[in-house]
Amino acid sequence: MPGQINRRGFLRQATIASSAALVAGSFEERALLAQATSAPAPQPPAAPARPFPRGKLGRLEVSRLICGGNLISGFAHSRDLIYVSPLLKHYFTDAKVFETLALCEAHGINTAILRLDDETLRLLAAYRQRTGSTLQWIAQVKIAGDDFGEIRRAVAHGAVGVYVHGGVCDDLVAAGRVNLLARAVAEIKQQGAVAGLAAHALEVVKACERAGVAPDFYMKTFNSKRYWSAGPMPRHDSVWEETPEETRAFMEEVERPWIAYKVLGAGAIHPREGFQYAFQHGADFLCVGMFDFQVAEDVELARLALEKTRSRPRAWA
């Protein structure tokens, strides 16, 4: 009837209006809109149009932007929003995980840092079988006393690099057990993988350097801490970098490769600022969790940040 509109017509008009509103939106917003109207099947990784810059991580050649695995695994530092991690698990179906990894490879990212668990192993095996992918896997593991079983399991399932979880390293150093980290590094190397140690607390890196522990690389949280939920103490869920200036200054003297993570403060810092800050102040690689619709933009912003970082106090690894 004239002057009335049915539900289908309303939805159609709403979609058109939304589309018009997003014309001038960000890359991410446009991608979300496109995703709402079409759901292409996951594609196997294609050769990147332009190789993404790489560096050396032990014997490995690694893209300076690395795909992080927290989002894929359904873990989010989401402050007090309790629904976010379950939402991620619902979003990242097998097909979406495959699509995300394929997009990373298509844009020149050749390495992913992923947890070691049954679900990750299942997804990796299926992805490789389906696409023939050569994506390098660096595994996050935990150690418990003398139990290094996770290290051996990761290598047995194809991990080319293994590092000890940041929380585990924090706790062991606080307990005065740096020797256990040294033994873990030795075990990783003995298994034939590149060995790393992660940390939220800078004291982990300091203690390992003092003790002569010899990992092939460190992973250290790093961001400017310039966002409203970053503090003051006690730590909010998103921080994981309490002393950015101290981190920058100390890492200038550390010759081992450094992968920076939490560079976006759990989504509180725009990649344009976060990537530039981390590269300019010494990070050799960035580990970043990405949704599929963020990959292309993140790659270009990381490339731009690298191009702008033509000189810096710390030598590149």
| E strands present in the chain | 54-57, 60-63, 65-68, 111-115, 136-141, 161-164, 194-199, 217-221, 258-261, 285-289
Residues of the chain scoring pLDDT < 50? 1-25, 28-29, 31-39
197, 204 Cβ separation under 8 angstroms: yes
Tell me what pLDDT residue 22 has.
Answer: 37
Tell me what pLDDT residue 75 has.
Answer: 83
pTM listed for this prediction: 0.85
Whose tokens are 């998103």? That residue is 238
* Amino acid (one-letter) located at 78: S
16, 23 Cβ separation under 8 angstroms: no
Query: Cβ of 190: how many Cβ atoms within 10 Å?
Result: 13
268, 230 Cβ separation under 8 angstroms: yes
What's the CA angle centered on 207, arms 206 and 210, to 5 degrees? 85
Pairing status of strand 54-57 against strand 60-63: antiparallel
What 3-state DSSP class applies to 115? Answer: strand
CA distance 101 to 95: 10
Tell me what pLDDT residue 27 has.
Answer: 52
For 107, phi and psi rounded to 5 degrees?
Answer: -100, 15
Give the orientation angle of helix 271-280 with respect to helix 295-308, to 10 degrees.
40
Tell me what pLDDT residue 43 has.
Answer: 59
What are the pLDDT digits (tens) for 56-68?
Answer: 999 999 999 999 9
